Amino acid sequence: MLAAAPAAADYMSVIEPAVLYDAPSARSKKLFVLSRGTPVEVLVTLDNWARVRDASGELAWTERKSLSEKRTVVVTVPNATVRAKEDDAAPAVFQAANGVVLEFVEPGAPGWIRVRHRDGETGFVRIGQVWGG
């Protein structure tokens, strides 16, 4: 079995509902299920398994086939303001409530990332308002 430590802050997203286990085996104890699109931080890979951390800090194992390179972020504040530009004074494009998953589009100016809502709206959000970026 080969284990590889990914680069620091190697984020991925869940492709389909993913079962998380306490060990890298489908025979191990099932802990919980993550919804499609949920961001996870991959800490280590072992054969077809990945040890991941979710936004709440929970650690578990899931099958690598459940993960995608497509990055997402989840809102961690009561309401995140997504703005037209990387500036707190820029007009708001939309608000996203705690727990809403947004697609990570690209890094922005320091402290900002560009995101896309599932409805197609894009804008910039402060990194401190989301997890997974």
Going from N- to C-terminal start, the domains of the chain cover: 3-70, 73-131
Cα→Cα distances 96→23, 37, 51, 91, Å: 34, 15, 28, 15
- pLDDT of amino acid 21: 98
- d(CA 84, CA 98) in angstroms, rounded, equals 20
d(C-alpha 47, C-alpha 43), whole Å: 14
Kindly tell me if the per-residue pLDDT of 1 is higher than 70: no
Q: For 66-76, what is each residue's pLDDT tens digit? A: 999 999 999 99
Architecture of domain 3-70: Roll (2.30)
- Give the confidence band of 7 by pLDDT, cuts at 50, 70, 90: very low
Span 61-120, pLDDT tens digits? 999 999 999 999 999 999 999 999 999 999 999 999 999 999 999 999 999 999 999 999
Which class does domain 73-131 fall in? Answer: mainly beta
Mean per-residue pLDDT, 4-27: 84
User: Can you tell me the mean pLDDT for 116-131?
Assistant: 97
Whole-model pTM: value is: 0.89
Residue 8 has pLDDT above 70, yes or no: no
Domains 3-70 and 73-131 share a fold: yes
